[in-house]
Amino acid sequence: MPSHDPDRRNPLQHLGACRVCPLIQSRFRSWRFGPSWARENRESRQVIELIAYTQRVAALQADEQQRELNASAQMLSKDRGAYGRVRLALLLALPGTAFNDDTRAAGLLESLAGAGASESAPGPMQQFAGLLHAQISERLREQRRTVQLKEQLEALKAVERNIIEREQARPR
């Protein structure tokens, strides 16, 4: 039975009906309707699905969020593919959750984000993983910088206290 899903139709089927010369048909076939087009289309839908999923999880109560995290971790243990990695990383990177772990999220995305050096152009999932990895990595850098600045402030306060104590202890 033929599919009525417009995304599943072969865009070349209409060319056969009109007697277009074979050269034009072969040129048209080389356009983005091959296997890479199907992969990009599928991955684009998956990225949109993951964004919507993350928004839904962010609105859940803490115990429901934890269940979703556990389900995503279990999914990843069965299939270490890009979809499962990005899904779990998105949940781990959710701010304000009890399980927020940006370091682990960045680690899950690192291999996907670094795979841009391959011969083929990165697909939508890999591009999204790269963007997410960059944002999480930047957040980690900002957190480290904040910790460093707090430590410097505490060191300056200690020096100030030490100076005040010396002045108070000095005979007048």
Q: Given a cut of 50, is residue 15 above it in pLDDT? A: no
53-90 pLDDT, tens digit each: 999 999 999 999 999 999 999 999 999 999 999 999 99
Q: What is the pLDDT of residue 51?
A: 97
Q: What is the pLDDT of residue 1?
A: 45
Q: Given a cut of 60, is residue 29 above it in pLDDT? A: no
Across the chain, mean pLDDT equals: 84
Q: What is the pLDDT of residue 81?
A: 93
Which residues does 40 contact at the CB level (< 8 Å), separation at least 6?
A: 32, 123, 124
Q: What is the pLDDT of residue 38?
A: 86
For range 124-139, the mean pLDDT: 96
> In three state form, how does the secondary structure of 106-166 look?
HHHHHHHHHHHHCCCCCCHHHHHHHHHHHHHHHHHHHHHHHHHHHHHHHHHHHHHHHHHHH
